[in-house]
C-alpha cells in the first residue's frame, strides 16, 4: 500500500492526516463545549412529552430548538440577577436574586412559585444538614472552618465537585446519542 505513494505524495499524505487529526481534536473539543452549553436533550424532551397529550410526537429539531431556548432563558435571567448583584456590590448570585429577576423580566407568574420552592429547598437543606451533623457528631466531633465565608467556600467547593461527578454520570446515562 505504501508503495503507491512517492516521497512527495507521502509527505502530503502525512501532512493531510496531521491536519485531519488536528481538525478532529478541535471538532471534539467544540462538541464538548457545545454540549456544555445546553441542557441534555433527553431531559428536555421528557419534560415536553409530559405536557403534551399521549398521541403527540415531538421532532428532534423541536427538542433542539427548545434546548436553545432554555439555555437562553437561563442566561437572560442570570444576566439580570448578576446586574443586580453588581449594583449592590455583592459577588454571589443567590436564589433570591434569581427570583427577583423573574419579576423584573416579566415572568411574574414564576416569582411566587419559585420563592416557595426556594424556601422549601432551604428548609429541607437545613433539616438534612442537621441530620448529617447529628450523624457526624455520633462518630466524633466534626471540625469545620469557623468563618462563615470560609465555610461557604469550602462547602461550595465540595458540593461542586460532588455534584459535577454525580450529574455527569447521570447525564451520560440519560443521553440518547
Partner 1 sequence: MRQARPYSAMFAGGVSARTGPHALPLARIKKIMKRSAGDSSVVDGGGGGGGGARMISGEAPVVFSKACELFIAELTRRAWAATLEGKRRTVHKEDVAAAVQNTDLFDFLVDVVTADLGDDHTDYK
Residues 6-35 that bind partner 1 (CB under 8 A): none
Pick one of 1, 3, 7, 57: the residue that binds partner 1 (CB under 8 A): 57
Q: Coil, strand or helix: which one is 175?
A: coil
Q: Binding to partner 1 by residue 134, rule CB under 8 A?
A: no
Contact 42, 174 (CB under 8 A): yes
For partner 1, what does the binding mask look like between residues 89 and 118, x meaning CB under 8 A? Answer: xxxxxxx-xxx--x--xxx-xx--xx--xx
**Within 10 A of 27 (CB to CB), how many other CB atoms are there?**
10
- Range in contact with partner 1 (rule: CB under 8 A) among 1-9, 10-18, 21-29, 78-86: 78-86
Nearest C-alpha neighbor of 95 from the set 136, 71, 123, 55:
123
Considering only residues 138 to 177 of the shown chain, the ones binding partner 1 according to CB under 8 A are 144, 148-149, 151-152, 154-156, 158-160, 162-164, 166-168, 170-171, 173-174
Residue whose entry in the numeric block shows the C-alpha cell 432554555 = 70
Could you say whether residue 86 binds partner 1 (CB under 8 A)? yes
Q: Give the residue among 103, 33, 104, 106 at the shortest CA–CA distance from 71.
A: 33
Examine residue 41 and tell whether it contacts partner 1 (CB under 8 A): no
Amino acid at each position: 500500500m505504501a508503495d503507491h505513494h512517492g516521497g512527495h505524495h507521502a509527505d502530503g499524505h502525512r501532512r493531510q492526516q496531521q491536519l485531519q487529526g488536528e481538525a478532529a481534536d478541535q471538532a471534539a473539543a467544540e462538541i464538548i463545549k457545545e454540549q456544555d452549553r445546553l441542557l441534555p436533550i433527553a431531559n428536555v424532551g421528557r419534560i415536553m412529552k409530559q405536557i403534551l397529550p399521549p398521541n403527540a410526537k415531538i421532532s428532534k429539531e423541536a427538542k433542539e430548538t427548545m434546548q436553545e431556548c432554555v439555555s437562553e432563558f437561563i442566561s437572560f435571567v442570570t444576566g439580570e440577577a448578576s446586574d443586580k448583584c453588581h449594583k449592590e456590590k455583592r459577588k454571589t448570585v443567590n436564589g433570591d436574586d434569581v427570583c427577583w429577576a423573574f419579576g423584573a423580566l416579566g415572568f411574574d407568574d414564576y416569582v411566587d412559585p419559585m420563592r416557595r420552592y426556594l424556601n422549601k429547598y432551604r428548609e429541607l437543606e437545613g433539616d438534612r444538614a442537621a441530620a448529617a451533623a447529628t450523624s457526624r457528631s455520633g462518630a466524633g466531633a466534626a471540625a469545620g472552618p469557623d468563618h462563615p465565608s470560609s465555610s461557604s467556600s469550602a462547602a461550595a467547593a465540595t458540593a461542586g465537585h460532588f455534584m459535577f461527578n454525580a450529574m455527569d454520570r447521570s447525564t451520560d446515562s440519560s443521553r440518547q446519542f
